[in-house]
Amino acid sequence: MKKTIVAGLTGLLLATGPVSTPAQADADTQDRIQSTRATIEQWVDVRQRIARTRSDWRQEKQMIENRIRLFSEEIEALQSSIEDLEERVTGAERERARLQQEADELRRASLRVDNIIGDYEQRLRGKAEYFPRPLRDRVAQFLERMPEDPDATGLSVSERMAFVVGLLNEVDTFNNQITMMSERRELPDGRLAEVTTMYFGLAQAFYVDGQGQYAGVGTPARGGWEWESRDEIAPAVRNAARFYRDRGEAAYVQLPLKIHSIPGSE
């Protein structure tokens, strides 16, 4: 699809334009080629930066999942050892004291794992404040079930791990795709209008109204995304939404995409 877009754009630039002398036409053609190359280089750079951001997120997610898996296995092993030790305790006082000491050590180890899970829960809660509304709706069930106070919860460690992994999966899915949806947004004149919004993962979003008159750009911000009115890009956003929705003939659409990072995600 990318090759089709570039080829179509280059062909269009070479095939159109006013009639001129051969020298002027050659100069104009070279200028267009240089401009097209610069545009393509910028586009490739943006795609590479997006890919790096996604790769960083996947690596962090994999690291967290690996740690959670390790902790889960350790907890299961510790709990199994505790149960086994408790069943084998005899009436001999010395043996009982020794086994009790081992059980206490295992419980302390389990508590340390529990404290680590609480740290992950708090970090995810902090990052969730930067999620766009569609993603917050998806992960709301996990956030609601995560205990706000790790020391005052009836949930088991395995249940809490399941909520953390479920939330990470939703975030990873959203961050690796374009999400297009209809929303109601306040326009500069104060009116509420039905708009089409395209979320490019967690990096940025664009909206445009049905008439292609009003448009804007959304970027991550604490407590909800910030939206800036950019009516001059309305035709481009409308075309991008139409191409993505209809999946028809490919075309190159230039949008002012910038890469943003969530504080604390480095």
What are the backbone dihedrals phi and psi of residue 106, each rounded to the nearest 5 degrees, phi first? -65, -40
Banded pLDDT at 3 (limits 50, 70, 90): very low
116-to-72, 119, 122, 127, 262 alpha-carbon distances in Å: 12, 5, 10, 17, 22
Q: Is a pLDDT exceeding 80 seen at residue 29?
A: yes
Banded pLDDT at 120 (limits 50, 70, 90): confident
Question: How large a percentage of the chain has pLDDT more than 90?
Answer: 30
Q: What are the pLDDT digits (tens) for 128-163?
A: 999 999 999 999 999 999 988 877 888 888 888 889
pLDDT at 183: 92
- Integer Cα distance of 16 and 220 in angstroms: 40
Between 11 and 156, name the one with better pLDDT.
Answer: 156
Can you tell me the mean pLDDT for 33-52?
A: 84
CA 139 to mean position of chain CA atoms: 12
Q: What are the pLDDT digits (tens) for 68-104?
A: 787 778 878 877 877 776 666 556 677 777 888 888 8
One DSSP character per residue, 182-241 reads EEEEE-TTS-EEEEEEEEETTTEEEEEETTS--EEEEE--TTS-EEEE-GGGHHHHHHHH
- Integer Cα distance of 125 and 146 in angstroms: 9
SS3 153: coil
pLDDT at 238: 92
CA 239 to mean position of chain CA atoms: 24
Can you tell me the mean pLDDT for 224-231?
A: 91
Q: Is a pLDDT exceeding 90 seen at residue 175?
A: yes
Burial class (CB in 10 A: 0-12, 13-18, 19+), 147: middle
SS3 37: helix
Model pTM above 0.75: no
Can you tell me the mean pLDDT for 104-127?
A: 80
pLDDT at 10: 44
SS3 180: strand
> DSSP code of 177?
S
The first and second tokens of residue 105, run together, are 């050590």
16-to-10, 19, 28, 35, 119 alpha-carbon distances in Å: 10, 9, 11, 15, 60
